Amino acid sequence: MTEPHTPDLLPALTSSLLATATDLPSRLAGSIRRRVPSYREPSPVTDQELLDSCTAHVGFISTLGTPDPERDKTIRMIGASRARANFPLPDVLDAIRVGSEFIWGEIVDHGRASGSASDADLISVTGQVWTMNDEFVRLMSAGYRDEEELRLINGERERFALIDTVLSGRDQPNSTLWQAVDRLGLPRNRPYVVVAIEAQGDGHVPAPHIDRRLLDGGLESAWLLRSDVELGIVSCFYEQIRLVRKALQHYQVRAGISSVTEDFGHAAQAVRLARTSLAASEEGQVTFFSDFAINTMAAGAPDVASELSAIVLSQVLRLPESEQAVILDTVRTWFGTGGSVAATARAMFVHSNTVRNRLHRLETLTLRSLSDPRDTAELYLAVVSLPHGRRSPDDPRATERRDDGCNG
């Protein structure tokens, strides 16, 4: 009969076993190959890799309870190698379970055959075996998940670089434009649009899972979040714009969509058009590039539009703010109703004659007629450009007036 169980009994039994059974790791590897289907040939885990992990498994028991950072690092590295081989983690854990059962069976047989441990001793150390198993699982799993996380981060960085390549419309040092298109899964033979969604600059994604929502409609896409905007490349035909718009409207975001483009070499221009459409959008509005041509033009050239606004509305902008607001609100409402005096009066809760008087005063101050299409276009552009910047009435360029009688 052996001495009563001590914490050192299991490591001692294992060391004694290894001294007489040097082939234990290779026999353990054979058991795993037979009992765990994914380890059978062909398997991404080579014979040498499996033997190394089995050697580490057996050695772990023999050093149980002894701190060994290098040993633990080796086990984590084995777990990381399984992740790099895309080997399923459940199968890795299944192999550890099989290995622990096999090693325990060998220890029991050795203890009985050598007389170095009684059945009572062996029963007393059973808990240590499964504690060892749990710790071995923890180390292998930690290494596996660390590698998965690293691969995910690297994969995201690589994907962002590929999207950036496509959005630039030109080859980059590490990837050609066409390689980037293909690796992102974007069809070469289908046109596309670029989408720009307003972002808050805090890392918050304004339209989470937009790629999945679009894919449900048969539209492939790739997305890149920047500080001020989330940009997306969406593979679609012109008639599918409504699907893109509907997907974006689900998130109630402010967004712009470029015109449909067929040449990936023109992606940089499509980005500019998408950003311009975004600038022309109201809060919660999704604007396609051709939706509001004048608004989009004003958003695309805000400095020029602001200059025009200051010139055309110079006399209006010299009025007291309350008078400015009355005239500008009236003309905005009039444009919004399609030029209907009656509808404008109803919307503003005033008499139709009041609307006519206010519009007439606008015509007088600007020397432009709302019955002349060219004058009306200028006034509309000037009004919609106001949010993009208003020049001080004291600026000399805001005092320029056309000669009386000029309607062009």
Asked whether 198 and 278 are in contact (CB, 8 A), the reply is: yes
Closest-CA residue to 312 (of 263, 241, 369)? 369
At 356-370, the pLDDT tens digits run: 999 999 999 988 888
Measured distance CA(258)–CA(266) in Å, rounded: 11
pLDDT at 397: 33
For domain 9-150, the question of CATH label 1.10.490 is answered with yes
pLDDT at 291: 54
The domain made up of 302-399 has a fold known as: Arc Repressor Mutant, subunit A (1.10.10)
Domain limits, the chain: 9-150, 185-293, 302-399
Q: Is 194 helix (H, G, I), strand (E, B) or coil?
A: strand
Distance of CA 350 to the CA centre of its chain: 49
At 277-326, the pLDDT tens digits run: 888 788 888 988 765 555 555 555 566 567 667 778 888 998 999 999 99
> Which class in CATH covers the domain with range 185-293?
alpha beta
Query: With 50 as the cut, is the pLDDT of residue 162 above it?
Result: yes
Most confident residue range from 120-124, 220-224, 304-308:
220-224
Is 185-293 in the same CATH topology as 9-150?
no
Unique residue bearing structure tokens 């001793």: 121
At 47-68, the pLDDT tens digits run: 999 999 999 988 887 776 677 8
Closest-CA residue to 221 (of 283, 153, 155, 159)? 159
